[in-house]
Structure 1
């Protein structure tokens, strides 16, 4: 769920920033790139929101510094960490604190000379981080950034954190995001249960590890599965074909080569 929301957030933010990569291109760039390859600007957006899904993510000063590096912020990120920490520790309405943190981040980053696009991205990221901390979640979920294009005023002008009408627009965006996330979670739970039910039918010795990979991310290549499990590339491809035939996985690209599989 977090991986899927991260890709949606990156795709919509990339579109708002007029970058080339769309949703499918972001998925390909992540899953088909050579290890250690340099990230494109949209790829860094993807990495930014995928931080929420990493097991080690705490939302502490180190994570916030890394987020700033992905966005190209060159100054000291301690101020951003202090803002996020202060709003996460404040009692009161969690949504109100999330939006207040986003606006405070926008003011701080703007005064620090950051580009408007960077200010907005960091503010949206911080809002979801503060919301998760206030609600006691173990890790955040990208909810607000995928709706970046929907936050507009009556004239259709897109609103950014710091604009007068942004908090109301952001609240409406959060309401829609929560409804959509619930539907997506129900669908993913159903697909995950169907995949797990197939385990007794799978003869490959490392099938359980491949199933775990499918449950842990929103896309897996046979090559990545082979590297992670010690299977041969051919055995991994045959296992994914078997999973598709049984209805436990889907091929996501529609290609004959460089295929990607997911729930």
Structure 2
């Protein structure tokens, strides 16, 4: 499904909410858990069909959450704030480090439509042929496809948590007919889940999808409201290049003033102006080396 071509438009304050029974129901069997995850995905699919949703921004923010989860799985201390600093304040020639590489892999995987070429760009350490085999390892319903792809990677490369989760989300997107990978599994799984196999792993994936779909719909509603406000105040911005700057804010989780198409001082003034208008937030709490986001 190509969300960008759909025509579902409406008040961002009225994005449909996940039915309470989807997340409150107590399910123990694989059949019951699969039913709930299917309902959650159906609802998320409906939300993603809205053209007033900043899709690229949603994927980028979910990529940060997925990266944060994967960094925690690896036992490293970096969290969202440190990951943002590592990537968005990276200077030419600098290396992002292990945590930064995880974050960059997720961002690259989510920013382009699902394809072996895009996955190889995110995971260049693996040959395209290997990625294709892993992506097509799953059969059946979408979550089952994702779980089987996850298991296929981890069976061959037990320590490759990040590639496994990226391929699993890609398999899920492909099975659902989504053009883009939406990072959902990593944020809902526990580290111990990655050592499960067979039905136990499928059960964990169904539960992870249900929980993450709920979080994704909440985040989508929040970003839709904030994006609508940013678009409302955009005509008030007089700086040359302000329109391009707004477009950047609508696609990226965090933006450094230096990434905007304006001179340095003008970029900082524009960011401060957008904060004053309530259209973006300053994300670091610092006086220097600031980052801004919707």
Q: Which TM class, normalised by the smaller chain length?
A: 0.7 to 0.9
For residues 82-122 of structure 1, what are the alpha-carbon distances to aligned partners after superposition, in whole Å with 9 as ceiling and x for unaligned?
A: 231353xx5x4111111122112222x2xxxx3x331x322
**Bigger relative contact order, structure 1 or 2 (CA pairs below 8 A, ≥6 apart):** 2
Once the two structures are superposed, the pairs formed by residues 39-188 of structure 1 within 5 Å of their partners are 39-55=96-112, 57-60=113-116, 62-69=117-124, 76=127, 78-85=129-136, 87=138, 90=139, 92-107=140-155, 109=156, 114=157, 116-118=158-160, 120-149=161-190, 158-160=192-194, 162-163=196-197, 165-188=200-223
- Runs of 4+ in structure 1 off by over 6 angstroms are none
Alpha-carbon distance between aligned partners in 2 of 1:197 and 1:132, rounded to the nearest angstrom:
32
Helix, strand or coil at the partner of 2:194? coil
Instruction: List gaps (5 residues or longer) in structure 2.
Output: 1-57
Helix, strand or coil at the partner of 2:189? helix
Matched, 1:18 2:82: no
Helix, strand or coil at the partner of 1:142? coil
| Kept in 1: contact 2:227–2:250 (CA 8 A) | yes
| Kept in 2: contact 1:204–1:239 (CA 8 A) | yes
For residues 125-181 of structure 1, what are the alpha-carbon distances to aligned partners after superposition, in whole Å with 9 as ceiling and x for unaligned?
A: 1111011111111111110112233x6xxxxxx221543522212211110000110
TM-score (norm 1): 0.83
Name the structure 1 match of 2:13: none
Alpha-carbon distance between aligned partners in 1 of 2:121 and 2:110, rounded to the nearest angstrom:
14
Higher mean C-alpha deviation, range 177-186 or range 203-212: 203-212
For residues 210-230 of structure 1, what are the alpha-carbon distances to aligned partners after superposition, in whole Å with 9 as ceiling and x for unaligned?
A: 1111001011111111xxx2x
Alpha-carbon distance between aligned partners in 2 of 1:232 and 1:78, rounded to the nearest angstrom:
44
Alpha-carbon distance between aligned partners in 1 of 2:291 and 2:76, rounded to the nearest angstrom:
23
Q: 1:38 aligns with which of 95, 98, 103?
A: 95
| Kept in 1: contact 2:137–2:145 (CA 8 A) | no
Matched, 1:189 2:240: no
Q: 2:278 aligns with which of 225, 236, 247?
A: 247
Higher mean C-alpha deviation, range 8-17 or range 185-194: 8-17
RMSD between aligned alpha carbons?
A: 1.9
Alpha-carbon distance between aligned partners in 1 of 2:205 and 2:175, rounded to the nearest angstrom:
17
Alpha-carbon distance between aligned partners in 2 of 1:207 and 1:50, rounded to the nearest angstrom:
24
Deviation, 1:39, is 2.3
TM-score (norm 2): 0.75
Alpha-carbon distance between aligned partners in 1 of 2:61 and 2:169, rounded to the nearest angstrom:
15
| Kept in 2: contact 1:129–1:140 (CA 8 A) | yes
Helix, strand or coil at the partner of 1:216? coil
Alpha-carbon distance between aligned partners in 1 of 2:132 and 2:66, rounded to the nearest angstrom:
22
Alpha-carbon distance between aligned partners in 2 of 1:93 and 1:147, rounded to the nearest angstrom:
19
- Give the aligned length: 236
